Structure 1
Amino acid sequence: MDIWMLPLLALAGVLAGWLNVLAGGGSMVSVLAMLFMGIPGPIANGTFRVAILAQNFTAVTSFRQRGFSDFRLSFSLAAAASVGAVAGAMVGVQLSGLWFNRALGLVMVGVLVLMATDWGRATPQLAEETPGGPKNLVLGHILMVGAGLWGGFIQIGVGFIFMPILARVMGIDLVRVNMHKVFIVMVYTSIALLVFASQGGVLWSAGLALAFGHAIGAWLGVRSAVLKGDKLIRRVFMLMISALVVKLLFFP
């Protein structure tokens, strides 16, 4: 790819990282930026995982520094998710550009529905962990296989799947939901990235540019004050995604 594209990808990564912290759905920005720059869909699908890996590694480290870690449960959940992620990545790496666009369009429709509802968020009642620790451990691990399948396949919107499993099914409090989520994503993304890389599905220069931007965007998002314009951001973001869904599904 042309060298001038790298700073633009880094800027897209800043926006993506910022959105991931404040409103969610930032991964769409990274993937769509690459698509509009002419990077084939399957390559974009593998490449943006470099940024996801860097972002979640930073988050895991940050949680541990603040005294939040439960690596035993995190690792067992990550192992379950990784089983599905390998299968999902094997499917994702085989998609042609046209079929990837169609799959991405359908995924974005699903994400829009989730963003418009409260399904992908923890309920206020789960602000504190269920007495006695996490519950439904077997069911939670089984569902993690499915979540990993989705994450390995396309990754986008996977947070809306993890939240209900960890919070609603397993009864984990909000802080530890994110603590476990970033560890799980870090582990299975490492494995999925290896699958994509082994098939030549990663453009490393673009991935590193995105990773740099994601890190800055996340740093800015964490340090932002309570955003009064959060609803406006969501509405503008959903409008933008709706237009892109029409583009991907009907004007490939």
Structure 2
Amino acid sequence: MAWYIYLAVLAAGFGAGFINTLAGSGSLITLPLLIFLGIPATVANGTNRVGVLFQNIVSVSSFQRQKMLDVRGGLILSAPAIVGSVIGAQIAVDLDEARMRQAIGVLMVVMLVVILLRPKRWLQGELEKMGKRPSLIQLIIFFFIGMYGGFLQAGVGIFLLAGLVLSIGYDLVRANAVKVLIVLAFTISALIIFVLNDQVDWGIGLLLAVGNSLGAWAAARMAVERGANFVRWLLIAVVAVSAANLLGVFSWIGQLFN
């Protein structure tokens, strides 16, 4: 590959790691790049998990050092997400991706409205909920989020944040810390499935991991320093752009100018 391709992979990894740590949908940067480089979509999906794995190792370590991570809560919620991710990774080749992208786009629009209309709930959380054990309904929610994460990864951070804030009661900064622990847990199980099916390009994956890790380190520090309000506005921007992309808005605009 030309030298600038390596730089592009590093840059994409940095952007994805940064966005994934503070919000989600960073894989919407890396997956199209990997496919553009000629990597088959299934292999790109598996290769992307290498960067996500290392990114979340860095994020978890950083949040833990800054005393923002609820390890116990994260591990409890990781259990159903891991089970879901294994199932999602195994059925990744059997689902209609186009229709799923549209459904996810609609869900993100709904979430965007909730974030805008109920800012205090995202900024302050609901502390009375946090000490309680997760209910069966909450565990089922995280099972399905894990299943989606095992299938595609892109956008899973946003759904995890919604579950952690609206269902569990974390504020956005602590929710981000727990989110990266959950993603780390189910990424390991999903990556094993892709490795066993020979759907990982390790050379590109490890290069991507360097960029993802640097982006995750910068984002974890910024999340704690800037606080929940900064994270909320970044989340709003990411959800809006992701929803527009998944619903084909950018493609429609491009056709208008052709």
Contact 1:120 1:161 in 2 (8 A): no
In the alignment, residue 49 of structure 1 is paired with which amino acid?
A: R
In the other structure, the counterpart of 1:211 is 209
CA distance in 2, matches of 1:240, 1:132: 34
CA distance in 1: counterparts of 2:239 and 2:158, whole angstroms: 15
Conserved in 2, the CA contact under 8 Å of 1:109 and 1:245?
no
Which consecutive unaligned segments of at least 5 residues does structure 2 have? 254-258
Residue identity opposite 1:184 in structure 2: I
Return the alpha-carbon distance in structure 1 between the equivalents of residues 116 and 82 of structure 2: 21
The AA in structure 2 aligned to 1:130 is: L
Residue 176 of structure 1 corresponds to 174
Which residue among 137, 140, 143 is the counterpart of 2:138?
140
Aligned counterpart in structure 2 of residue 153 of structure 1, from 151, 154, 165: 151
Amino acid across the alignment from 1:137: P
TM-score, normalising length: structure 2: 0.77
Do 1:114 and 1:160's aligned partners in 2 also have CA atoms closer than 8 Å?
no
Aligned residue for 2:91, secondary structure, equals helix
**Residue type of the alignment partner of 1:210:** L
Q: 1:34-58 CA distances to partner (integer Å, 9 max, x unpaired)?
A: 1111111111111111111111111
1:113 paired residue among 109, 117, 126: 109
- Of 28-37 and 175-184, deviating more is 175-184
Q: How many residues align?
A: 241
* Aligned-pair CA distance for 1:61: 0.8
Q: Structure 1 residues 46-55 or 212-221, which shifts more? A: 212-221
Question: CA offset at residue 23 of structure 1?
Answer: 6.0
Deviations 1:147-198 (CA, angstroms, capped at 9, x unpaired): 1110000011112211222111122233321222111110000000000000
**Hey, what does 2:25 align to over in structure 1?**
25
1:49-96 CA-partner distances (Å, limit 9, x unpaired):
11111111111111211223333322121111111100000011x359
Task: Return the letter of the residue paired with 1:131.
Answer: E
**Larger helix proportion of the pair:** 2
In structure 2, give the amino acid aligned to 1:109: G
Q: State how far apart, in whole Å, the 2-side matches of 1:40 and 1:246 are.
A: 25
Give SS of 2:113's match: coil
1:222-233 to 2 correspondence within 5 Å? 222-223=221-222
TM-score, normalised by the number of residues in structure 1: 0.79
- Report whether the alignment pairs 1:70 with 2:66: no
Distance 2:84 2:21 in 1: 26
Q: Does 1:38 align with 2:38?
A: yes
Q: Give 3-state SS (helix, strand or coil) of 2:114's partner.
A: coil
Q: Which residue of 2 aligns with 1:60?
A: 60
Write the letter of the residue equivalent to 1:193: L
Aligned-residue CA RMSD (Å) = 3.4
Post-superposition offset of 1:133: 3.0
1:140 and 1:166 in contact (8 A); partners too: no
